Amino acid sequence: MTNDTGVERTLVLLKPDAVARGLVGRVLTRFEEAQLKIVAMKMVWMDADLAKRHYFDLEERFGPEVFNAMAGFMESGPVIALILEGVEAVACTRKLVGSTYPDQAPPGTIRGDFAHMSRAYANERGIAVANLVHASGSAEDAAHEIGVWFAKDEIHDYSSPQDHYSR
């Protein structure tokens, strides 16, 4: 979701491992320090229907084993869903989060600093990679995902000091 000023909105999910490990505050701080404004946030226990709507194409792209592993992981505990807003928010968020596979994420990224699982480890065990955070991959993905997770009346427009620097 991009407007004509380059300010975008993107969806972020703090996955069950981030919540269980008590990393929510530290992860949110990273986003806020990068001048990404939280315009919506809620805690949700993902069910099968929500997993299917969020990961609507995962089974087709990677097969039922990958979908089932990911859905099972995401349904294993509460998730914190949020919408971030800022200049080029999708790319900025993905840069802050780091590579999908924590063992490939550089230090200084959320996954590089806090995550603990390699792709090989997860694949050997047939489990989802516990990588703390989901971040929309594109503006189009963000628009779809925001619609899955939030109603329009749950999204807030408000002024913040960072707006002075981004508009």
Side by side, which strands form the sheet with 7-14? 37-44, 79-87, 7-14, 133-135
CA dist list (Å): 11 to 4, 32, 90, 138 = 19, 14, 8, 10
Which two structure tokens, joined as six digits, stand for 87? 């200049």
Residue 93's nearest CA partner among 109, 117, 114, 116 is 109
In the annotation, is 156 catalytic?
A: no
Which two structure tokens, joined as six digits, stand for 12? 């972020």
Q: Of the listed 134, 144, 156, 164, which one is catalytic?
A: 134
Q: Is 131 helix (H, G, I), strand (E, B) or coil?
A: coil
What is d(CA 104, CA 62) in angstroms, rounded to the nearest whole number? 20
At residue 12, what is the residue type?
V
Pairing of strands 37-44, 133-135: unpaired
User: Which residues are identified as catalytic?
Assistant: 134
